[in-house]
Amino acid sequence: MTGRTLAGRYRLLERLGEGGAGTVWRARDETLRRDVAVKELRGGAGFAERAIAEARAAARVNHPAIVMVHDVVTDGGLPWIVMDLIDGVSLDRLIERGPLPAPRVAAIGLRVLAALEAAHAHGMLHRDVKPGNVLVERDGTAVLADFGIAAPMTGEQSLADRAGSAGYTAPERLREEPAGPQSDLWALGATLYAAVEGRAPFRRDHPAAVAAAVLMHDPPAPVLAGPELGGLLLAMLAKDPARRPAPAAVRQVLDRIAATTSYRSVATAPVAPAVPHGASAVPHGASAVPHGALPVPARTGRRRRLRVAAAVVAVSAAAGAAIAWSTVTSPGDGPDRGRFAAAPEACDLLTVEQVRELVGQVTDPRMTKVDECTWNYLKRGVPYRWISVQTQAVPPHGETPAPEAARLLFEGMRRETDSEAGGDTAFGRQTRSRVRALPGVGEEAFARDYAREGANISRTVCSVWLRVSNLIVRVEWTRAEDGGVRPADRRTVLRAAERVAAGLVTPGPSGPSGG
């Protein structure tokens, strides 16, 4: 492919990166004698014409914080988008080195916000704001790249309708509801959260789990952002677009954070270029020079209890700031938010003593995910029996009260679980029971069993899903043993679920509290 000339003008020099939407090349514009970035888009029949129309619409947006689209050509039956070649490094590559200071993140946020407002003023949505599409040039200024899946705000079907990146796609888009400028601002909030905290706000192991977290979970309260920026980010990540702050309010806070510091301005702090990150749809740099020295938060040798205390203070302050934002941006007579403003800690829903009564000797509870806790029963130091509890608090859905939204979601989960079939797999024979209702456990509950027997490993899993108000909990009992599902397995998970439900319905002095 190297050396190929597109439309008699753009000669491909080297491949810079590759993502789900296509491949990005460094190319030479033989007419103007300059290097450009060329994005080769993938798609089937009818894709090229629509892609070109949308790229041409995006090219009308001219702003210094936006990577400009210069041309769109068709070659080999596929569309190619010609753009500025940015000599810099993507924000996700900077985050790999560690969290960025809040003032620097605020300055980056101001640039991206300006780019988005310019696009919105032209009737365009970006639809893929994420750290990989925010590029930081040599002089430290940030630009927003990849309007390749941008689309006009017309409400019509678009190539971008289901496009986006896991964890950076607003909940309303995942629900296939109409998207608007607030959807891009949600993605900006997720991007800035990742930059200042060093981790994505809805990080999970699998894309499906990420999407579920975006829809049903609140992000962890920011620790490193500080109370003002942390509160703003939580407000920007509200599930309901109407409850998110307006761009003017976002700019006011970012301006204040970026200005009140001795940290060098992002407009003047030098950034060394980096090898382009292959996962992005836009080139992340034009140089193979390794990362240069970048200011990152100092890592000190303070004692653990001081770090923990500081984290607790930061989390509490950010949560308080988020409440203040909610008071400003949300009407007090909105839909019922349910008993649980946030999911209780999963490890608090069962005590070690309760689990020992059910399964015998167990280890102390361990958070295996942000929203999941596991109690292990060890055999020769290896877990071979365990109980896990996973929680999710469901917020209101538009005007639908949170408990009703949770009920509808719960019913969908029941149907989906009942539709899952067993059969032969690469790991052995799988057997799944039908879903059965469990009256008297919480407000509603259902159970299902699953067994897998294979040459290398066998596993029996008995699960109970229950709902209390707007909280959905899954309780699971697992045995890594042969023999299939036994009556004792069903009794164990049922008793565990009953204990969890009892604590949620009638919490004791130290039990979980509602919102």
**Catalytic entry in 71, 84, 92, 128:** 128
Residue in 214, 240, 252, 234 with CA at minimum distance from that of residue 315: 234
Rg (CA), the chain: 25
CA proximity to 460, closest of 487, 498, 421:
487
The amino acid at 350: L
CA distances from residue 354 to 351, 397, 467 in whole angstroms, order as listed: 5, 35, 21
Query: Is residue 128 among the annotated active site residues?
Result: yes
Number of other CB atoms surrounding residue 82 within 10 Å? 23
Between the two ends of the chain, the Cα-to-Cα distance in Å is 58
For residue 278 the two structure tokens come to 């292959």
Q: Are 436 and 453 in contact (CB under 8 A)?
A: no
Q: 3-class secondary structure for 113-161? A: HHHHHHHHHCCEECCCCCHHHEEEECCCCEEECCCCCCEECCCCCCCCC
Give the max Cα distance, the chain: 78
- Cβ within 8 Å of residue 171, ≥6 positions away: 186, 214, 215, 239
Give the residue numbers annotated as catalytic, written as ranges. 128
